[in-house]
Amino acid sequence: MSNGQGGPGPQQWDPWKPQSQQPDAVAPQPWSQGGTGGPQGPDWEALAEASAAKNRRRRIVAAAVAAVVVAGGAVTAVLLTRGGDSPAPNGGSTASVSSGTPSFDPTSAPPPLDPEEILADSRKDTAPLEADGLFPGKAGQKLPLGKAQYVKGPSAQTTDCASAAQHTLPKVLNDNGCTKLLRATYTRDGVAVTVGVAVFDTAEDATAARGQADRSAIIEPLAGKGVKPFCDGAVCRTTINSYGRYAYFTITGFTDGKNVTPQAKKAFDAGDHLAHYAFQQIHRRGEAQATAAPAS
């Protein structure tokens, strides 16, 4: 039996050949209809759209797979940087992120030692204490204090505190248990200042001595090594204060023997500078011991 043009048998269906017959078992394909109503050939536009749709589905699937891989990589990175478990093969995690957070036992560093606490008690304030250590430098060496330059003169120390004090101060020192008195003299532009530091066992003793000292409680001016005697019968200016277990004093006068008057700004400034210097040196002593002390 022939179909169409006829032939020795059934003609093999070929969708790409015009007039070929489609078997009944084959699903219909897109065709373009000719003007006579018979099949004219494949619908090339429909086939192109079908192919494009298939390609789009492939791209969507590929993108979804890539997204899963990227997401898995991101989880892996987070877990590794936080010390978590290894990620599962599918890109997930066998443990939550929070479970990988390391834990540490609570610790606390000991608080730093307080220099003033050390300076308050001779049992803690045990560093060597000498006049040349508290007032460093050789005689003739300059000491800058602010914008001023002072020249160091003689220095001295004694365990007989009363021997280096005048008027009412010897009794004050003895009554409160002074164990050592250190002195040094500095000069500048015709002004001489002797600064003295009295050492006690406790801060309470030093505070009591400061409170008991009146205007007549003065230390002995220290001359020598290029410094002429001063405050010998002349009016001089004195100061007193305390810090920790130390009471510190100054006596300031003119090297030419003139009296110090309230208008003598140079003399007042010099006494204030050296009094503050004594405070600084005592505080540095406390800081050095606080830094060197082992942590408890």
Q: pLDDT tens for residues 84-124?
A: 333 333 333 333 344 455 555 555 656 678 999 999 999 99
Rg for the chain, CA atoms, rounded: 51
CA distance 191 to 235: 13
Residues 71 and 139 in one domain: no
Report the C-alpha gap between 187 and 170 in whole angstroms: 25
144/276 same-domain check: yes
134 & 79 share domain: no
Q: What is the dihedral of CA 61, 65, 71, 73, to 10 degrees?
A: -160
Could you give the CA distance from residue 148 to residue 188 in angstroms, rounded to a whole number?
A: 8
Q: How many domains does the chain have?
A: 2
pLDDT tens per residue, range 66-83:
444 344 433 323 322 233
Is the pLDDT reported for residue 184 higher than 70? yes
Inside any domain, residue 153: yes
Exposed, middle or buried: residue 12 (CB in 10 Å: 0-12, 13-18, 19+)? exposed
Q: In this structure, are 212 and 181 located in the same domain?
A: yes
User: 37 in a domain, yes or no?
Assistant: no
pLDDT at 203: 98
Please, which residues have CB within 8 angstroms of residue 42's CB and are 6 or more apart in sequence?
15, 16, 29, 30, 31, 32
pTM across the whole model: 0.63
Q: pLDDT digits over 197-250, tens only?
A: 999 999 999 999 999 999 999 999 999 999 999 999 999 999 999 999 999 999
Residue 8 falls within a domain, yes or no? no
CA distance 253 to 191: 6
Do 93 and 122 have their domain in common?
no
**Of 44-48, 179-183, 188-192, 280-284, the least confident:** 44-48
